Amino acid sequence: MKILVCISNVPDTTSKINFTDGDTKFDTNGVQFVINPNDEFGLTRAMWFKEKQGATVHIATVGGQSAEPTMRKALAIGADEAIRVNAEPADGYFVAQQLAEVVKNGAYDLVIGGRESIDYNGGMVPGILATLLDMNFVNMCIDLQIDGTNATAVREIDGGKEKIATSLPLVIGCQKGLVDESDLRIPNMRGIMMARKKTLSVVEPIEATVATTDVNFDKPAPKGAVKLVDAANVEELVNLLHNEAKVI
Amino acid sequence: MSVLVYTESDNGSFKKNAFEVASYASEVAKQIGTAVTAISFNSNENEKLGDYGVSKVLNVSSDQLKTFNAKAYARAIVEATKSEDAKVIIVSSSSDTKFLTPIVAAKLGAGYASNVVAAPESTSPFKVKRTVFSNKGFAHTEINTDIKVVGVSNNSFGLVENNTTASIEDFNPVLDDVDFTSKSIEIDKVVGKVTIADADIVVSGGRGLKGPENWEMIEELAEVLGAATACSKPVSDMGWRPHGEHVGQTGKPVASNLYIAIGISGAIQHLAGVSASKTKVVINTDPEAPFFKAADYGIVGDAFEVVPKLIEKLKEFKAQNA
Ligand SMILES: Cc1cc2nc3c(=O)[nH]c(=O)nc-3n(C[C@H](O)[C@H](O)[C@H](O)COP(=O)(O)OP(=O)(O)OC[C@H]3O[C@@H](n4cnc5c(N)ncnc54)[C@H](O)[C@@H]3O)c2cc1C
Ligand SMILES: Nc1ncnc2c1ncn2[C@@H]1O[C@H](COP(=O)(O)O)[C@@H](O)[C@H]1O
């Protein structure tokens, strides 16, 4: 089985978010970049397939050279090879078209992406990619079993979950639950050393549509101070929620 | 030309978000000077959409589509878009909708803006405001394609009544076997409980509650309020509560009217996923807990004392206001 994990290079979850250039760009100053958490769950599941069922695992990122440290981290975790499409990820549609080209050229059986990137929160790349390639697709995937070319996936639905029978070639958009938290791997020294020798190929982008443009950004208005209610006077909270906030 | 809205139903009844996206669609239609057509699947209450400005409903009633199937639903929506010559498609942010919308967008070559929180800022160029960086920022995004898809965040636009009479037509999309290569084989869904996605009020518990055995009071508080229950990430990681209840940046997003956080410290990843809620209440023993900075109301106190009292007072309040 050949697996491609799509890795989005995103600001660490604790990052302070600021904008620059007249609020037209995300300010990367002082920001630490990491593997998108959803993609890390996917990569971890890919490593499980590799070890338990035999699979080759490649990763792909659409991004500039600055994405390479994050890609090396994915190699250190255990991916075999990395492909960088040398283009700024202009929007989800653009990224999906680039990744579709990578998938076509690499003849992957399983493509793992995340439910969403925690930067622009598009939640669309895996679904668009699957549709462009006419592959099966399961979103918000929290369990995946593969047996030959048959696949059984579980996806989260509002208020529960649904089990889906499908088949390879398959694209999933995965999220927390796909693997146990305790299975996530921190790269060790050996992994880091090996990652340096692994292939990271750079390919040029294909001509593609950019469907949306973020013209400018802003931040939510700062919050007013919290109104504290005494623990001995819980009734006051009920009053405030009813009369002031009008939510009950 | 029209604005097409996908109105989601469950067992024949519309979900609350169906009326919210219909309201949004009707605002867009007003801005561009056209009318709203809705597409619904096996709904028994299509006429209700008229109350929110829908003038025509394409009703798909098909046994094959009784169970949600993303690819087949997407095909139907694409066909409706073409037959209505729709240029704007409005959808919600439910789990099912977030599954099918990228498929619709790809099939139509349409730009898709998700997590949109307000009516379009302009329609030419078509520009919307959406949340990015897990609610830490907003982007003002132009959709450049001929057909535009807008995913509206839960509870962001609200319900706007707009009395119209909706004509209801049967719509029979031509389905293809390739749409059914993925099959639902089991659905495991809590019944009779409010889900986080649909809830106006969410009651959430964290590690401060010490163990799963203490969730009875959380359940009870939720019941009194007609709320959904949720939890922080470690709580679901430890198996105290199911994964589906985990909220935050890597969990379910919460955009309720009221969010009550009990024994949750308010880590940045937790806040990122819940800050779209309108009113936030925190109950925590530690006055320094970061959540107090993000909350509207707070009680510094022990959950095991405060929550039972709160339940009691809410019951009294309900009795008086019944
Ligand atoms: C990549 C990444 C992604 C993450 N994503 C998420 C996410 O999506 N959602 C999420 O929730 N977390 C997420 N986290 C984890 C997050 O950083 C915090 O660890 C987590 O939110 C803490 O959960 P908690 O508030 O329940 O526990 P704690 O931080 O342990 O807080 C418990 C709180 O309970 C209070 N308390 C104790 N006893 C009582 C009592 N008797 N009565 C009242 N209060 C009491 C304490 O004062 C404390 O403030 C993520 C972390 C990482 C690294
Ligand atoms: N620039 C990118 N390079 C590689 N994969 C990406 C990129 N952007 C998004 N993805 C993948 O698509 C998923 C969803 O991203 P998005 O649609 O941007 O929210 C991510 O979790 C990744 O798996």
Q: Enumerate the domain spans of chain B.
A: 2-180, 201-320
The pLDDT score that the predictor gives to residue B322 is: 78
Cα–Cα distance for residue pair B168/B178, rounded to 1 Å:
29
Strand partners, B280: B259
Cα(A15) to ligand 1 centroid in Å equals 17
List phi, psi (to 5°) of A201.
-95, 145
Is B284 within 8 Å of B263 (Cβ atoms)? yes
Note whether B264 contacts A: Cβ–Cβ < 8 A. no
A227 domain-assigned? no
Q: Is B134 close to A121, i.e. CB distance below 8 A?
A: yes
Ligand that comes closest to the CA of residue A32 = 1
Q: At A48, which CATH number?
A: 3.40.50.620
| Alpha carbon of B252: minimum distance to chain A alpha carbons (Å) | 9
Is B201-320 assigned to CATH 3.40.91.50? no
pLDDT in tens, B67-81: 999 999 999 999 999
pLDDT in tens, B189-209: 988 889 998 899 999 999 999
Is A203 within 8 Å of A84 (Cβ atoms)? yes
Residues 6+ apart with CB under 8 A from A169: A108, A109, A110, A111, A133, A135, A136
Give the alpha-carbon dihedral of B221, B222, B223, B229, to 10 degrees: -140
Q: At what angle do helices B95-108 and A125-133 cross, to 10 degrees?
A: 50
Q: If you search the block for the tokens 């095991």, which residue do you land on?
A: B304
A86 domain-assigned? yes
A247 domain-assigned? no
> Which B residues in the span 289-308 are in contact with A, Cβ-Cβ below 8 Å?
292-302, 305-306
Pocket flag, ligand 1, residue B264 (CB < 6 Å)? yes
Point out the residue among A176, A214, A235 whose CB comes nearest to the CB of B139. Answer: A214
Cα(A117) to ligand 2 centroid in Å equals 6
The pLDDT score that the predictor gives to residue B27 is: 98
ipTM > 0.85 for the complex: yes
Between the two ends of chain B, the Cα-to-Cα distance in Å is 47
Cβ neighbours around A17 below 10 Å, total: 18
Ligand that comes closest to the CA of residue B267 = 1
Pocket flag, ligand 2, residue A43 (CB < 6 Å)? no
Note whether B105 contacts A: Cβ–Cβ < 8 A. yes
| Alpha carbon of A68: minimum distance to chain B alpha carbons (Å) | 21
Pocket flag, ligand 1, residue B301 (CB < 6 Å)? no
| Domain around A172 | 2-219
Buried b (16+ CB within 10 A) or exposed e, B274-309: bbbbbbbbbbbbeeebbbbebbbbbbbbebeebbeb
Mutate one of A99, A124, A216, A242 to test the B interface: name it (highest B CB count within 10 A): A124
Flag residues of chain B having pLDDT under 70: none
Number of compact structural domains in chain A: 1
Of the candidates B108, B76, B96, the residue with the CA atom closest to the CA atom of residue B179: B76
The alpha carbon of B251 is separated from its chain's Cα centroid by a whole number of angstroms, namely 14
A63 domain-assigned? yes
Residue of B nearest to A180 (CA): B237
Residues 6+ apart with CB under 8 A from B288: none
Q: Is B102 close to A123, i.e. CB distance below 8 A?
A: yes
pTM of the model: 0.96
| Alpha carbon of A78: minimum distance to chain B alpha carbons (Å) | 23
Strand partners, A59: A5, A82
* Chain A contact set for B122 (CB, 8 A): none
The token pair that represents B108 in the structure block: 């139509």
Pick the CATH number of B2-180 from 3.10.20.30, 3.30.390.50, 3.90.480.20, 3.40.50.620: 3.40.50.620
Residues 6+ apart with CB under 8 A from A44: A77, A178, A179, A183, A184, A185
The pLDDT score that the predictor gives to residue A223 is: 86
Is B152 within 8 Å of B93 (Cβ atoms)? yes
Half-sphere exposure of B322 (CA within 13 A, CB side): 8
A29 domain-assigned? yes
B2-180 and B201-320 have identical folds: yes
Q: Is B299 close to A231, i.e. CB distance below 8 A?
A: yes
Using the Cα atoms of residue B191, residue B196, residue B201 and residue B202 in order, give the sign of their dihedral.
positive
Is B185 within 8 Å of B46 (Cβ atoms)? no
The pLDDT score that the predictor gives to residue B192 is: 82
Is A11 within 8 Å of A29 (Cβ atoms)? no
Strand partners, A157: A160
The pLDDT score that the predictor gives to residue B41 is: 98
Q: Is A241 close to B258, i.e. CB distance below 8 A?
A: yes
- At B230 the three-state DSSP class reads strand
A228 domain-assigned? no
Mutate one of A16, A28, A241 to test the B interface: name it (highest B CB count within 10 A): A241
Amino acid in the structure at residue A27: D
Pocket flag, ligand 2, residue A59 (CB < 6 Å)? no
Ligand 2 pocket test, candidate residues A4, A6, A62, A129, most atoms within 8 A of CB: A6
pLDDT tens, N- to C-terminus, chain A (248 residues): 999 999 999 999 999 999 999 999 999 999 999 999 999 999 999 999 999 999 999 999 999 999 999 999 999 999 999 999 999 999 999 999 999 999 999 999 999 999 999 999 999 999 999 999 999 999 999 999 999 999 999 999 999 999 999 999 999 999 999 999 899 999 999 999 999 999 999 999 999 999 999 999 999 998 899 999 999 999 999 999 999 999 99
Cα–Cα distance for residue pair B294/B81, rounded to 1 Å:
42
The pLDDT score that the predictor gives to residue B91 is: 98
DSSP tag of B166 = P
* Chain A contact set for B131 (CB, 8 A): 121
